Structure 1
Amino acid sequence: MKENMRSIFIIVFVSIAVSITALIFVTLQLRRASESLAEATISRYESYLLADEMRQSSDDLTRLARTYVISGGDPKWEKQYFEILDIRNGVLPRPVHYENIYWDFVAAGDLNPRPKDKAIALLDLMKEKGFSQLELKKLDEAKEISDALVKTETIAMNMVKGLYVDSEGKFTIKKTPDFEEARRLMHNDEYHINKAKIMKPVSEFF
């Protein structure tokens, strides 16, 4: 009888131990899966913010170029315009939490809303975040089109100064400022079509 009780006790004990071990194993696996999912979600969100920065930078450049033209050449708008380009291209340091509202504060007079971080090009940041080759291709395409539109914006802004492009692509020819033509360049159908071309590969990313 004692032997039977001992056997039953051992069987019950082993069963409980196995169940507890299995429960611990399953719990750990679920925890790892949850952590992996959380990391993937955070990574994807950060990738979304970087991709959206391409769209936002293009919109900010448009706003500042138009404001410069309409204002008749207020240099602060041109300065902000080229700062955005330099940050995007890794020439100037990126502000901390640059994905948040920034240039609206600068436009309102707060010239340094947040401290600066390291200088790094937007596309290089995307590579660091592990963007796929397809994603990088789409966003690089958007940047190339945006850079091409910068030429139009630069022509319009220099036109306000009375500077016109020469055969080498430099603004060395001095003439009378043409405010009307500058405004037309920044608001015509061609400009809007090119803006849409920038947004198309960005929208495909999402």
Structure 2
Amino acid sequence: MNISRRFKIIFSLLILQLAGIIIVMFLWIDSARKVAEAESQGHQLMDLAHILRQSSDDLTRMVRVYVTTGDKVYLEYYEQILAIRNGKQPRPSNKYDLHWDTLVSQQNFDSSAISASTMEQMILNAPLDSQERALLFDALAQSNELVSFELNAIELIKNHTYEQLPLSVKLSAQDKVFNSLYISQ
């Protein structure tokens, strides 16, 4: 075997190794892209779950304070939260801003907002698989069941002067949002 032939064999092996490295590199890049997409999808799922949980917690807190105190400002907050969740008002721009906590404690907040969209639209527009989407829709349905309890409690108090309501009506409204059936939802 002469030197020229050995050189060609070694050069061919080097080219094959380089081709193998390039193929492995492209596979690694594709794999990294898929991991990044899955991570992004997981973050979007967690963001939507957080937004849904936070809105449900905020609704519960506002209705409980309203039926306990009769202070109409909490009814207004409740109605705003529900309007934002139902896409009738724009959502605050910072999804992690404790908007209602800030509003209640300081009576002012950053009013910048993004476009209005329903929770259903947000779930449908997110790149989720069918199981994740189904879990979020189930959680939303459960939260909406709580809203029906809350609206029933609100109706007992809404069109009356709280101080003049009989104690039995006040307790009945409070029971609707503090009883074991409500809590188990």
* Larger displacement relative to structure 2 (81-90 or 151-160): 151-160
CA distance in 2, matches of 1:10, 1:131: 52
TM-score by length of structure 1 reads: 0.76
User: Which residue of 45, 61, 67 corresponds with 1:63?
Assistant: 61
Show the counterpart of 1:84. 81
Show the counterpart of 2:183. 192
CA distance in 2, matches of 1:43, 1:100: 21
User: Which residue of 146, 151, 154 corresponds with 1:157?
Assistant: 154
Report Cα offsets for 1:49-83 as digits up to 9, x if no partner.
2023222211111111111122x222221121111
Q: Which has the higher helix share?
A: 2
Alignment of 1:1-206 (within 5 A): 4-70=2-68, 72-109=69-106, 111-113=108-110, 115-163=112-160, 176=165, 178-194=169-185
CA distance in 2, matches of 1:109, 1:156: 27
Answer whether contact 2:91 2:113 (CA < 8 A) is retained: yes
CA distance in 2, matches of 1:17, 1:135: 46
Shift in CA distance, 162/88, structure 1 to aligned 2, threshold 3 Å: closer
Q: Which runs of 5+ in 1 are unaligned?
A: 164-174, 195-206
Show the counterpart of 1:198. none
Report Cα offsets for 1:98-135 as digits up to 9, x if no partner.
14533222222254336211111112111111333444
CA distance in 2, matches of 1:23, 1:148: 57
Q: Which amino acid aligns with 2:53?
A: R
The percent of aligned pairs where both chains have the same amino acid is 28
Runs of 4+ in structure 1 over 4 Å off: none
* Larger displacement relative to structure 2 (59-68 or 95-104): 95-104
Q: Which amino acid aligns with 1:189?
A: S
Q: Which runs of 5+ in 2 are unaligned?
A: none
* Larger displacement relative to structure 2 (104-113 or 9-18): 104-113
CA distance in 2, matches of 1:83, 1:147: 15
CA distance in 2, matches of 1:133, 1:39: 16
